[in-house]
Structure 1
Amino acid sequence: MLWILLLGFLVMQLFGWLFAKGLLWLLPHNLSRTTRRAVWMLVFGIGNGLFFILFFHLSSILFRLFTLWLVVVLYGVLTILAVWSAGQLLRLKWPPERTLTARRVLAAGLFFGLFALSLYNAYTPVVRYYAVRIGKPLDKPVRIGVASDLHLGVLFGSRQIDELVRIMQRERVDIILLPGDLMDDDTEAYNMEHMQPYLQRLRAPLGVYATLGNHDLFGHQAEIAATLQEAGITVLHDNAANVDNRFWVLGRPDEMDVHRADTADLLKQIDTARPVFLLDHRPTSITRHEQLPIDIQVSGHVHNGQIFPGNLVVKLLNVLSYGYEARGRGHYFVTSGYGFWGIPLRLGSQSEVVVIDASGE
């Protein structure tokens, strides 16, 4: 863990240096030495100051501010690189003042455009469709709606739940699966914003099933599970539900729960001649699960990186970080999530609902 923090800190210094250099490149070149020093101190002071405060005093508000600052620096660096590259390609013979003005206008447009696109991606979910055929009898096809990582809280609440209800109704799903991180650490904002009546409207003919993710296990898991159950959602915690005598829905808590059961042991408790649909918040056990009689697994957690280049990083760290793969005996789905973590921004990913049409032999 310590080496990850150290690496992250060093990367932050590199991007801070690039950002400060880029800002000075966009500012008038006749700035005084004092002003230039102030730019450097401001860039490194904000980032490093928030980093060290968080290191000794973890706070959700400070964490969001720190994350937002990191995104400002990242988008600033991406913008400056894009503007510089455009200048190298076009090689316009403009006077220095006109060139500097063009740089600033283009940089401002790109920078705020990245934020606008990221905000749109975070709050405008798309529906991804898949159709799979499982290797077990299923009397008739099942349409499964999947929404992971809602992170219900201050920035994501009743309006987004209402939209999720409309999507599931429009898609006419038979069953809804919610594989973890439904709350943003606790139920405080959920209760203050009176989200319960909205979540109670999330219904499907064969039921709504959920399991707890890592953000549901930060000390408030009992309260979160009770809140979900009061909303009519079946919370699976190392157990399975027999759905209409047709198939099983099996749910595991996140691996943060050190007492969670092994999947193979859970499967011994049910008749696996019937189809088995598994909710497992993280996609970290796929290579083990593909050897087991699991027909469909749905996961989330990694948010498809949420913000570029995070999507590239999670792809390196996971067997399947996003999308769908048929592996071994089953079909595996990892969604980018319906909500977001921390700040309402997505770049290189988009909030989504997954709809799976499953048919049997």
Structure 2
Amino acid sequence: MYLLFFILPILILIPTGIYLYVFFRRILSLFLKRDVRLAKGLSAALALACVFSAWPAYGWGGVAVLHLAGVSLVIELVNFLIKRAPFVFKKWDLIYRSGVLSFLIISVVFSYGYMNMQKIEKTGYRIGTSKIHQEETLRIVLMSDIHLGVTMSAEDLENWCSKIQNQEPDLVLLAGDIFDEDTGRVEMERAAKALGRMQSTYGIFYVYGNHDSNQYREKPEYTSGHLRNTLEKAGVHVLEDEVFKTGNHICIIGRKDAGDQDRKSLKEIMKDAPENSFRILMDHQPGDLKENNRQGIDLQVSGHTHAGQIWPTGQLMQLLGINEINYGFRKTGNLQTVVTSGMAGWGYPIRTGGHCEYVIIDVVSKE
């Protein structure tokens, strides 16, 4: 984790700063042809300002600066190919040197990302199990990664809860990061009441994500314990390495977040989960799929990945093995896993990877 959040960003930002010096130097050379020293000084200052604003690399400044560098490097490749083409585009050299194309492309990408973040879709899955009877069905609503206060307000959530209620769920599963460091106490309490008002056959269940407990803020507006008490008072079952049996054959296993040092092993928790029940595992981060299959989990629901949020981070995370699955459905032996992209986003109101969603899972008998 230290490598991911500190060493890797430093290794990325050093060459990024060097390249941006060259980039700004090229632009300023158009306007300061006679004052080379001033052009160099301003280029260095702009490059340093970009690197400074890009720390941490996963913040809003980092996203903007890395997009600028990435898009500009692609344009460098285009320039290389054009210079070697048999035809000559007379205006190209001016367009290339001015850097205007980089800023135009970034504006288009971020505009799309902003609009994409505002649109929430319904995604449906239909899975089978031999643990429910032929005439039965189980409809599950899965909500995750709302990060209340970033792109969605408590009022917005109230409206969405009313819309999702129309799906007539049997279970409502809240798979973590419903709240985060930008969630105020009053807004958290209002949102908890909205979630608790949702009607379902077997109840509403919640597990912590890595942001819910405010561990990344020195002076949080509320504690993890206060959050739990508020949710439970509103009628939401909060599970921390706990098993909850509901209905005739349903067992909900809710895990602490993978980053929690006090997290129990699944094997230890499963002692309280009847073998003949339909076992649903709620785990914010989508990991340990093979082990979860060995322990007899039938369905795992997770979030955390945001399906990347900023392309291509999701694909890179999966390639590097940081996330076992970036998004969607996967079958591992008898285990069926659904990973949602979440209803909103973290850090900034931009999504260029994936889409925002709530998920409907219809579980039917496969007998």
Indicate the TM-score class for this superposition, using the shorter chain for normalisation: 0.7 to 0.9
Q: Find the counterpart in structure 2 of residue 36 from structure 1.
A: 40
Which residue of 343, 360, 364 corresponds with 1:355? Answer: 360
After alignment, is 329-338 or 78-87 more displaced? 78-87
**Mapping for residues 1-361 of structure 1, pairs under 5 Å:** 3-4=3-4, 5-27=6-28, 29-31=30-32, 32-33=35-36, 34-48=38-52, 51=55, 67-85=59-77, 93-96=88-91, 99-100=94-95, 106-138=101-133, 139-185=135-181, 188-191=184-187, 194-218=190-214, 220-316=223-319, 317=321, 318-360=323-365, 361=367
After alignment, is 292-301 or 86-95 more displaced? 86-95
CA 1:189–1:13 in 2, change beyond 3 Å: closer, same or farther?
Answer: farther
Partner Cα distance (1:43, 1:98) in 2: 22
Q: CA deviation at 1:187?
A: 5.4
Q: Structure 1: which amino acid aligns with 2:66?
A: L
Aligned-residue sequence identity (percent) comes to 27
CA 1:104–1:159 in 2, change beyond 3 Å: closer, same or farther?
Answer: farther
After alignment, is 149-158 or 321-330 more displaced? 149-158
Output one character per residue of 1:303-335: Cα deviation in whole Å (capped at 9) or x when no partner. 223212311222122322221111122201112
Q: CA deviation at 1:107?
A: 3.3
Q: Which runs of 5+ in 2 are unaligned?
A: 216-222
Q: Given the two structures, how large is their TM-score scaled by the length of structure 2?
A: 0.83
**RMSD, aligned CA:** 2.9
Partner Cα distance (1:171, 1:18) in 2: 51
Q: Find the counterpart in structure 1 of residue 220 from structure 2.
A: none
After alignment, is 200-209 or 348-357 more displaced? 200-209
Q: CA deviation at 1:182?
A: 1.7
Q: Is the 8 A contact 1:157 1:193 kept in 2?
A: no
Q: CA deviation at 1:24?
A: 4.0
CA 1:23–1:147 in 2, change beyond 3 Å: closer, same or farther?
Answer: farther
Q: Is the 8 A contact 1:131 1:356 kept in 2?
A: yes
Partner Cα distance (2:262, 2:154) in 1: 33
Q: Structure 2: which amino acid aligns with 1:37?
A: G
After alignment, is 225-234 or 2-11 more displaced? 2-11
Q: Is the 8 A contact 1:337 1:353 kept in 2?
A: yes
- Which structure has greater helix proportion? 1
After alignment, is 159-168 or 251-260 more displaced? 159-168
SS in 2 for 1:277: strand
Partner Cα distance (1:3, 1:340) in 2: 23
Q: CA deviation at 1:189?
A: 4.7
Q: CA deviation at 1:85?
A: 4.9
Q: Is the 8 A contact 1:237 1:251 kept in 2?
A: yes
Q: CA deviation at 1:292?
A: 1.8
After alignment, is 31-40 or 335-344 more displaced? 31-40
After alignment, is 316-325 or 279-288 more displaced? 316-325
Partner Cα distance (2:145, 2:186) in 1: 15
Q: Is the 8 A contact 1:134 1:330 kept in 2?
A: no
Partner Cα distance (1:197, 1:141) in 2: 28
Partner Cα distance (1:193, 1:236) in 2: 18
CA 1:20–1:352 in 2, change beyond 3 Å: closer, same or farther?
Answer: farther
Q: Structure 1: which amino acid aligns with 2:297?
A: I
Partner Cα distance (2:81, 2:163) in 1: 45
Partner Cα distance (2:318, 2:159) in 1: 29
Q: Is the 8 A contact 1:311 1:349 kept in 2?
A: no
CA 1:332–1:97 in 2, change beyond 3 Å: closer, same or farther?
Answer: closer
After alignment, is 301-310 or 331-340 more displaced? 301-310
Q: Given the two structures, how large is their TM-score scaled by the length of structure 1?
A: 0.85
Q: Is the 8 A contact 1:16 1:44 kept in 2?
A: yes
Q: Structure 2: which amino acid aligns with 1:261?
A: K
Q: Structure 1: which amino acid aligns with 2:208?
A: L
Q: Structure 2: which amino acid aligns with 1:9?
A: I
Aligned residues: 349
SS in 2 for 1:242: strand
Output one character per residue of 1:276-324: Cα deviation in whole Å (capped at 9) or x when no partner. 1110111122121011221100011222232123112221223222211
